[in-house]
Structure 1
Amino acid sequence: MSADPNCIFCKIVAGQIPARKVYEDEYILAFHDIAPWAPVHILLVPKLHIVSMAQLQPEHEALMGRMSVLVPRLMQELGVSNGFRTVINTGADGGQEVMHLHMHALGGPRPWSKG
């Protein structure tokens, strides 16, 4: 797998930075967000360093499908039973802060709701 030695998510994948892991296989690492926006807020990160969705290629189709199918299972295992939200920010204008593709999965009472 390719990695960027300066990328925080690549360092987490490599075990150089600790994370509260939820799931790991040969392609994906899922862990709790350090600044959660909801009672359950995890990140799913491909182990392959891909900067953002804008850099996805046809060979990444199975990886993205695997991430999407994994989310409901992980949220259920984490006790989320009334729905969840998934977000993938892409690029600076899309709100992406870490330039390594990642999917947010948020569950529980919605702090972003206005009432």
Structure 2
Amino acid sequence: MENCIFCKIVNGEVESEKIHETANVISFLDVNPRAPGHTLVIPKEHVEVLTELEDEVACDIFKVTKKVEKLLKESLDADAFTIGINDGRAAGQEIPHLHINVLPRFEGDGGKPIHSVIENPPREKISKTAEKIRKTSNKS
């Protein structure tokens, strides 16, 4: 996609601080980091959300995410990590190109767990929700 900043990074049109790269995936430091070492892992192919990603690339993107976490742990002595995907505009995705945020966490950093991102408990029993999901799964 010609106006996508991440595609421009992939194509070398925009500079980035690359961390690790494979044939299908690139990782680089976020220019607006929320923590030291905040890294983005993206597929080189432009896809907006996870469900658009080819299975082979999905495996590769998580292998790179694992590699990046290991690199950040060793180099920055991070205590833990929060790894997240804002998958679609309603989830807070600001750049419409799939990206995984790898956020190094440090004791006392003031960050919260991923469960603090949203507070919208279901109104129906989880068994009802599970039934809906299984019915959809059987159609696919």
TM range (shorter): 0.7 to 0.9
User: If the length of structure 2 is used for normalisation, what is the TM-score?
Assistant: 0.68
Deviation for aligned residue 1:111 = 3.7
User: Do residues 69 (structure 1) and 69 (structure 2) align?
Assistant: no
Deviation for aligned residue 1:59 = 4.7
CA RMSD of aligned residues (A): 1.9
| Structure 1 residue identity aligned to 2:111 | W
Farther-moved stretch of structure 1 (9-18 vs 76-85):
76-85
Structure 2 match to 1:112? 111
User: If the length of structure 1 is used for normalisation, what is the TM-score?
Assistant: 0.81
Cα distance change, pair 81–112 in 1 and its aligned pair in 2 (3 A): closer
Q: Assess if the C-alpha contact under 8 Å between 1:75 and 1:84 holds in 2.
A: no
User: Do residues 98 (structure 1) and 88 (structure 2) align?
Assistant: no
Q: Assess if the C-alpha contact under 8 Å between 2:35 and 2:104 holds in 1.
A: yes
Q: Assess if the C-alpha contact under 8 Å between 1:88 and 1:102 holds in 2.
A: yes
Deviations 1:67-94 (A, max 9, x none): 3432332322432441111010011111
- The structure showing larger relative contact order (alpha-carbon pairs under 8 Å, at least 6 residues apart) is 1
Identity %: 34
> Structure 1 or 2: larger helix share?
2
Secondary structure at the counterpart of residue 40 of structure 1: coil
Q: Assess if the C-alpha contact under 8 Å between 2:27 and 2:42 holds in 1.
A: yes
> Hey, what's the Cα distance between the residues in 1 that align with 2:19 and 2:58?
23
- Superposed, 1:1-115 pairs within 5 Å as 4-109=1-106, 110-113=109-112
